[in-house]
A and B are shown apart, each in its own frame.
Chain A
Amino acid sequence: MSTPAVHSLWTTAADRIPQIGAPKIEYGQLSPTLILLGAALVGVLVEAFVPRRSRYYAQVFVSVVALCAAFAAVVGLAADGYGTTKAHVAAMGAIAVDGPSLFLQGVIVLAGLVGLFTFAERRLDPAAGGNRVDSFAAQAAAVPGSDTEKAAVKAGFTTTEVFPLLLFAVSGMLVFTSANDLLTLFVALEVFSLPLYLLCALARRKRLMSQEAAVKYFLLGAFASAFTLFGIALLYGYAGSVSYARIAQVVDGSVTDVNPALADTMGNDALLLIGAALLVMGLLFKVGAVPFHMWTPDVYQGAPTPVTGFMAAATKVAAFGALLRLLYVVLPGMRWDWRPVMWAVAIITMLGGAIVAITQTDIKRLLAYSSIAHAGFILAGVIATSKNGVSSVLFYLAGYSFVTIGAFAVVTLVRDAGGEATHLSKWAGLGRRSPLVAAVFAVFLLAFAGIPLTSGFAGKFAVFKAAAAGGAAPLVVIGVISSAIAAFFYIRVIVLMFFSEPKPEGPTVAVPSPLTMLAIGLGVAVTLVLGVAPQYFLNLANQASVFVR
């Protein structure tokens, strides 16, 4: 039986994977990941050998250069046609170099770069021990409240390890979006998750909350990883392979030769269904979809805000990249099985996120629930199972990342004596005291709410359009209703900022260094450009929307 037609709508055939032969690694095509991994290792060496006072500059230099180089490599590969005509599977079938992976890698690297700017901000916290300090703990190993901690703070230590950790996380995410077999997928998942768990625990202020968040994230993340791994095992049992292409062929019945060692299990549909469900569950956890979203608010609230911004943007991009590839490349043959389930997940995610967000009183938690609702909107695009669905999701993710990092960067600016003033009541009257900061945050909120002329609207329109064309009209209606619900709480924050009287002992808005300004400025610029003139980026996403298989 030849390849079924449905599948070829959003995938193109790659060369057959060689079964025997010496490993052949296309270093050039993997260069974005390799550059970042290399730079991360250099960062570790910098920690070991460079004197403490120069570490910050060395680390920032290495990270910025590496991220820029990685982005240049991605652009170079795309310009070479690896996103379209030369798309293929590299590294012995482990890594797909194709449109979606290059597009998302570009977005993740940029999110990493903008995130790095917020990581490197050192003008917000008052100087300690004569040194400018950033948002991260003076000494992560010191017990909160202990004498060691006080000594570390007094000495003006900073945790410059965050920079290599960020690079490790980014390189893991790059592999995650392009993994073309289940084992690579799992390794990438761990490579980017572990640095994030660590980063979450590193807040300078409110350290106990930060550590609690990290522990929660780690425990739940470990559960999710375990589910993923179990799913991978079951799928291997079903298909006799961890390669995406092979599993897809077994699922749609074009390959029937049985591996003798797995004769009892191969082709057993129960294994396929349970395995796929567990695997998708693991990815939905990373995406933050209801009912696997429980970690999101706690972790977003507890983590240092720059980390929250980076994580909220980049993790979502990476996880949706992996989810798309899994559903479109591996499991298209069983889309009649997964579509109803994803329908349900998308509906409860959109509604759940929007409804629960209404009751939040902490700005970081509010943004966390909003990110859950957004995951639901993106899922609507995923469910479209069409080329337009892929391109709309890519476009949405690109717009969403910059809004998210920008919004969290604004949160770092609003401070009182205890650090960031994240309780909503403290934001009252911010528009009077600092109209510019409030106006910028209002732009981000309007983009989240999907008001026209912002990237949020263009993205929402794209995914809903794809969903409606893919026969999911009810989903669009529910999406629109939850947008209306979500608009309510975004607007509430705007009301608070502009129409409420400022509190006498309210927070002040810190004047950041050019780094944070750059992050926020980029966020605003991208939000408006994608809102007013999205055509170029839609083209890009469109060209990049074909998976290799």
Chain B
Amino acid sequence: MSFPLLTATAALPALGAVATAAVPAARRTAAKWLALLISLGTLALAITVLVRFDPGGARYQLTESHTWIRDFGVRYELGVDGIGVALIALTAVLIPFIILAGWHDADPLETGNRRWRPTQGFFALILAVEAMVLISFEATDVFLFYIFFEAMLIPMYFLIGGFGDRAHAQGEEAAATQRSYAAVKFLLYNLVGGLIMLAAVIGLYVVAGNFSLQQIAEARASGSLHMATSTERWLFLGFFFAFAVKAPLWPLHTWLPNAMQESTAPVAVLITAVVDKVGTFAMLRFCLGLFPEASRWATPVILVLALISIVYGALLAVGQRDIKRLVAYASISHFGFIILGIFAMTSQGQSGATLYMVNHGISTAALMLVAGFLISRRGSRLIADYGGVQKVAPVLAGTFLIGGLATLSLPGLAPFVSEFLVLVGTFTRYPVIGIIATLGIVLAALYTLVLYQRTMTGPVKPEVSTMPDLRVREVLVVAPLIVLLIFLGVYPKPVTNIVNPAVKHTMSDVQKKDPKPEVEAVK
């Protein structure tokens, strides 16, 4: 038996979480270093996955398969396709930066209580989330996926509810109340989504008798498994609902601004750049893969919802006064693009959507983490409290600008490529929707540039005048992300090479072909 590389990729952060949690209270710094080392080790394993993965090979590679709970027809089945590999790499890349950015976020205020070890808890929870996200990207058994999709909520919930920004305008008491509100809202939305999916998972078992993606696909191809149209549609809705909450898609998005606003910047990045990707990833793998007919049936409605997400998210982002909420609404708009690309059912659209997941992860991380550094300096999230930062902290302002430009999809930076692909992919099949979606880009320019202008330019506000520039640790966090943004903006081929074959499989799952280019003769 070969080395179970995929299991190892997820097991390392899981064990690391336990080890980090067990570090004694006084050895806080050791816990931080341990967590960082573990996340770097996971990155090394993820890179091995990337290298070992052969884009031209079988659909699912590095597979592992063991019986787990026979009575439920559950197998421990792992395997990655190109989309999975891209997202595993994204996750493994981002976590070390998240840990490094959150280096001081969980230092305890009171040192007397020896039992209370928030620092250890914070980093252990981040690693636990990483482990669960990785296994969700790897699982090719629906039940296995579901278990970690749900279990992920628990560490996320503690990260949101337990750790917030240090300085809060309304004092610690109010901050704690708002934090636990945000955490509970996050959990309830996702739990309800997950439980509805559970009903669909049970339904799938009753229909198919097992949960293996490959077995179900084979059974359908050979005709031994027949799903009635209405059954398939109900099951699709159950799955899609859960993923739409997670993604989040309008009108199920309202938990995201609260969660991102109240959590620390690294945790906000973890939510939007890593955990939410599981939702869009699962739409591609499970919704399209298991229920192709129902996916085609639901496409018009989903496209409209995605379109609303794009425009609505962008419009609300324009109106925000809180920096983190602004980024949250921008993310909702971007998730709209991703879902649009998935359900446009063209190969450009789906490649673009996958690429978008990766690029959005990196660009949001860059923007949000710099915003976090900014907020920690001034102790306020309100845009109005800033002004003229670029004169006092030019490096900070510069990196913030690049993050912002990436968010508005400036050509040359990574998100541009993916947004362009999504729009092209949508336009070839649904020209009107493609045109409306372009509005999102215009609005993105508006909210990002206005944000930059109000916070960074203009006269220096007195509270800002003593603001220190980025420290070495902070530069270490931001610089590699910016390098990645530029590199993938100029040369996206490494990612598209991996993703494209997987997208072909998905397209054949839903039995869709790209529309032929049609040009009407101009007289």
Q: Which residues of A contact B (CB under 8 A)?
A: 432-436, 446, 451-453, 457-458, 461-462, 464-465, 468-469, 473, 476-477, 480-481, 483-484, 487-488, 491-492, 495, 498-501, 533-535, 538-539, 542
Instruction: Find chain B residues with CB under 8 A from A477 CB.
Output: 199
Return B145 CB to nearest CB of chain A, in Å: 11
Other A-B pairs, 20, CB within 8 Å; known A451-B151, A491-B188, A535-B68: A432-B113, A435-B116, A446-B154, A452-B148, A452-B150, A453-B151, A461-B72, A462-B72, A465-B72, A465-B206, A469-B206, A484-B191, A484-B192, A488-B188, A491-B157, A495-B184, A500-B176, A533-B69, A534-B69, A538-B71
Q: Which residues of B contact A (CB under 8 A)?
A: 67-72, 113, 115-117, 146-148, 150-151, 153-154, 157-158, 161-162, 173, 176, 179-180, 183-184, 187-188, 191-192, 195-196, 198-199, 202-203, 205-206
Instruction: Find chain B residues with CB under 8 A from A539 CB.
Output: 71
Q: Is the CB of A542 within 8 A of B71?
A: yes
CA distance A143 to B205 in the complex (A): 59
Q: Is the CB of A435 within 8 A of B188?
A: no
A-B pairs, top 5 by smallest CB distance, nearest first, are A452-B147, A538-B71, A499-B180, A480-B199, A484-B192
Q: Is the CB of A480 within 8 A of B196?
A: yes
Q: Is the CB of A481 within 8 A of B202?
A: no
CA distance A483 to B72 in the complex (A): 20
CA distance A436 to B114 in the complex (A): 13
Whether A499 touches B173, Cβ cut-off 8 Å, given contacts A435-B115, A481-B195, is: no
Instruction: Find chain B residues with CB under 8 A from A473 CB.
Output: 203
Instruction: Find chain B residues with CB under 8 A from A499 CB.
Output: 161-162, 176, 179-180, 183
Q: Is the CB of B151 within 8 A of A452?
A: yes
Q: Is the CB of A461 within 8 A of B202?
A: yes
Return A425 CB to nearest CB of chain B, in Å: 15
CA distance A451 to B198 in the complex (A): 11
Return A449 CB to nearest CB of chain B, in Å: 8
Return B206 CB to nearest CB of chain A, in Å: 5
Return B185 CB to nearest CB of chain A, in Å: 11
A454 to B, closest residue via Cβ: B151
14 residue pairs from A and B, CB less than 8 Å apart? A435-B116, A464-B199, A468-B202, A468-B203, A468-B206, A480-B198, A480-B199, A484-B195, A487-B188, A495-B180, A501-B173, A535-B67, A538-B71, A542-B71
Instruction: Find chain B residues with CB under 8 A from A501 CB.
Output: 173, 176
Q: Is the CB of B154 within 8 A of A495?
A: no
CA distance A501 to B173 in the complex (A): 8
Q: Is the CB of B158 within 8 A of A498?
A: yes
Q: Is the CB of B191 within 8 A of A487?
A: yes
CA distance A458 to B198 in the complex (A): 12
Partner of B202, one of A453, A465, A500: A465
Q: Is the CB of B199 within 8 A of A495?
A: no
Return B23 CB to nearest CB of chain A, in Å: 14
Q: Is the CB of B117 within 8 A of A435?
A: yes
Return A506 CB to nearest CB of chain B, in Å: 14
Instruction: Find chain A residues with CB under 8 A from B187 CB.
Output: 487, 491
Instruction: Find chain A residues with CB under 8 A from B147 CB.
Output: 452-453, 457
CA distance A457 to B71 in the complex (A): 14
Return A437 CB to nearest CB of chain B, in Å: 10
Return B187 CB to nearest CB of chain A, in Å: 6
CA distance A479 to B162 in the complex (A): 30
Return B14 CB to nearest CB of chain A, in Å: 12
Return A539 CB to nearest CB of chain B, in Å: 7
Instruction: Find chain B residues with CB under 8 A from A542 CB.
Output: 71
Whether A500 touches B71, Cβ cut-off 8 Å, given contacts A435-B115, A465-B202, is: no
Q: Is the CB of B184 within 8 A of A476?
A: no
Q: Is the CB of A535 within 8 A of B70?
A: yes
Instruction: Find chain B residues with CB under 8 A from A432 CB.
Output: 113, 115-116
Instruction: Find chain A residues with CB under 8 A from B180 CB.
Output: 495, 499-500
Return A393 CB to nearest CB of chain B, in Å: 14
Q: Is the CB of B161 within 8 A of A535?
A: no
CA distance A488 to B203 in the complex (A): 24
B180 to A, closest residue via Cβ: A499
Instruction: Find chain A residues with CB under 8 A from B205 CB.
Output: 465, 468
Return A470 CB to nearest CB of chain B, in Å: 10
Q: Is the CB of A498 within 8 A of B162?
A: yes
CA distance A510 to B166 in the complex (A): 33
Instruction: Find chain A residues with CB under 8 A from B161 CB.
Output: 495, 498-499
CA distance A453 to B151 in the complex (A): 7
Q: Is the CB of B202 within 8 A of A476?
A: yes
Instruction: Find chain B residues with CB under 8 A from A481 CB.
Output: 195
A485 to B, closest residue via Cβ: B192
Instruction: Find chain B residues with CB under 8 A from A535 CB.
Output: 67-71
Instruction: Find chain A residues with CB under 8 A from B196 CB.
Output: 480
Instruction: Find chain A residues with CB under 8 A from B206 CB.
Output: 465, 468-469
B152 to A, closest residue via Cβ: A452
A433 to B, closest residue via Cβ: B115
CA distance A535 to B71 in the complex (A): 7
B158 to A, closest residue via Cβ: A498
CA distance A468 to B203 in the complex (A): 7
Return B172 CB to nearest CB of chain A, in Å: 8
CA distance A484 to B183 in the complex (A): 16
CA distance A465 to B146 in the complex (A): 15
Whether A452 touches B146, Cβ cut-off 8 Å, given contacts A468-B202, A535-B68, is: yes
Return A473 CB to nearest CB of chain B, in Å: 7
CA distance A299 to B408 in the complex (A): 62
Return A475 CB to nearest CB of chain B, in Å: 10
Q: Is the CB of A451 within 8 A of B199?
A: no
Instruction: Find chain A residues with CB under 8 A from B199 CB.
Output: 464, 476-477, 480
CA distance A491 to B67 in the complex (A): 32
Return A137 CB to nearest CB of chain B, in Å: 34
Q: Is the CB of A451 within 8 A of B183?
A: no
Return A543 CB to nearest CB of chain B, in Å: 11
Q: Is the CB of A491 within 8 A of B116?
A: no
CA distance A457 to B158 in the complex (A): 20
Return A335 CB to nearest CB of chain B, in Å: 20
Instruction: Find chain A residues with CB under 8 A from B157 CB.
Output: 491
Instruction: Find chain B residues with CB under 8 A from A433 CB.
Output: 113, 115
B203 to A, closest residue via Cβ: A468
Instruction: Find chain B residues with CB under 8 A from A451 CB.
Output: 150-151, 153-154
Instruction: Find chain B residues with CB under 8 A from A458 CB.
Output: 69
CA distance A476 to B197 in the complex (A): 12
Whether A483 touches B202, Cβ cut-off 8 Å, given contacts A435-B117, A451-B154, A538-B69, is: no
Instruction: Find chain A residues with CB under 8 A from B202 CB.
Output: 461, 464-465, 468, 476
